[in-house]
Amino acid sequence: MQTSLEINTISETAILRRGDQQKTCHKGEWMEFYTLLAWLRSDPSKKDQFLRRELLLSGGEWSKKKEKTAHKILSRHLKELESHKLDSLLNSPRPTLEWRLTVDPINIHWNPSFELCVKWLFSRGWNPNKATTLRVSAPPVEWIVAVTKTLIALYSGNMEQAIELVEESKTYTSDPVLLKISQLTRLRIAIRYLPDDESIDDVEETVDYWGDSPIGQHLRAQACALSAFASIEEHISDRLESLTQLTKELQISSDMGTLGTLSHTMAILCRRLGNIDDAETYLNQAIPIILASRDILAIQNALFTLGHCRYVKLKKIGQKPDQAIFQLLNLNMEIRQTFGIGKDSAQCEILGATLALINGDIDLANSYLQEAEKFVFSDYDHACFHRARARVIWNEAFINDGKIKENVREKVIQDLKVSLEMFGRSGRSIPMVRKELEIIESGGFPKSWRTLRLASP
């Protein structure tokens, strides 16, 4: 069924047609909305480009609206189009964030002419460069210092100071791009360590702010990676699909540093989904790129992911953790000891303790736990640490005494209670921990721990 759009700047009307269905938008915001869409669709260099909210709100009637107000108006309008069976004229993967006409450019009609209609559009405040260019003002030295110190505090494990500094950075500039970069930095902290932080609600807005310039693509990719990292389980497949498309775009632009970040993020998502072969494929792409870009923090994180994936893969075929896994984890720790970075998480040491226990090496497990205790900051780290320590205490007592004494049982119960509480605070539900706690409180022996006992010498 043929679709068409007529833009008439003399009468200031936009007429949408699909077969015998028709809707006329008179003057104001919707005339502007459809003229913007038609302009993008009619330009061969932009015909597949989405109109993003950042561009929409930069001119005309839309510039007077707050983002939440615009969100509500757009939601109502899209529902109205659906009721008129005209919603197929728009492609809206994220309905209140980006839009693109599906109308063939040949079926977009301009009155009096394309040139005069576009002139009318730009006279209402839109800058045509904003569709392709992200302009950043010269950053004040104070802003540079505050954001840099934020990252130092973050990767040194000082979360409170990191939050204070990133908020301070916002006081040194009014430039919208610099403010968004500060917000992106805060999101990096909140997503990993402050699951209840209200800034996480802004992640989609942060993803879609940047436009299509090279720097915009880079910053949007960073925001996408953060958004994917924070996604709940049922949304992981959608995030993976979005990152795959973004990776293809970055391969064309040759942004190798960001490409490495995205490939690593996709590996993490695949690991969460249990697709270990796919995770390793993405890691094989990411690690050489990250090494070539000399991003030592990214290298540290990728080493942990590779070690974790290798463990899961060996576990699936009934094999114990091998020496290569411990080499990767120890190299991760060596980077922290050498450069003083990565103090924001103890996941590497916690995993090392768990794997050493599986191999029956209690001394090595305790060594990893002692190191982990120095860097346990987030609720999730606390939850994992106390669960790992409970297992080590239990197995060490059983190996040494051949039984579990009451004082040992109490220590284990206390650790599991803390673990359960911290998993809840981190926004994660771990039924296995609750089950383990119930079994031990009733005097039993968790089946999942029995394999650890049998693995010991």
Burial (CB < 10 A; 0-12, 13-18, 19+), residue 295, is middle
Res 27 pLDDT > 50: yes
Residue 391's pLDDT band (cuts 50, 70, 90) = very high
Its sign, for the CA torsion 256, 262, 265, 269, is negative
Distance, in Å, from the CA atom of 304 to the CA atom of 414, rounded to the nearest integer, reads 29
Question: Strand, coil or helix: what is 24?
Answer: strand
Scan for tokens 């994992």, then name that residue.
384
Q: Under a CB-based contact definition with an 8 Å cutoff, are residues 143 and 173 in contact? A: yes
The token pair at 234 is 């049922």
163: left (phi over 0), alpha (psi -120 to 50) or beta: alpha
Whether 202 shows a pLDDT value over 70: the answer reads no
Confidence (pLDDT) at 57: 82
pLDDT tens-digit profile of 171-189?
A: 988 776 678 778 888 887 8
Determine the pLDDT at residue 266. 86
Closest CA to 229 of 187, 198, 258: 187
Mean pLDDT score, 253-276: 79
Query: Can you give the C-alpha Rg of the chain in angstroms?
Result: 27
pLDDT tier at 128 (50, 70, 90 boundaries)?
low
Kindly report the pTM of this predicted structure.
Answer: 0.57
* pLDDT number for residue 127: 66
DSSP state of 27: S
Positions of E strands within 389-428:
none
Alpha-carbon gap, residue 116 to 114, rounded angstroms: 6
Percent of the chain with pLDDT over 90: 34
Report residue 233's pLDDT band, with 50, 70 and 90 as the boundaries: low
Phi, psi of 246 (to 5 degrees): -65, -35
Q: Given the DSSP bridges, would you call strands 3-8 and 108-111 parallel, antiparallel or unpaired?
A: parallel
Task: Find residue 29's DSSP bridge partners.
Answer: none
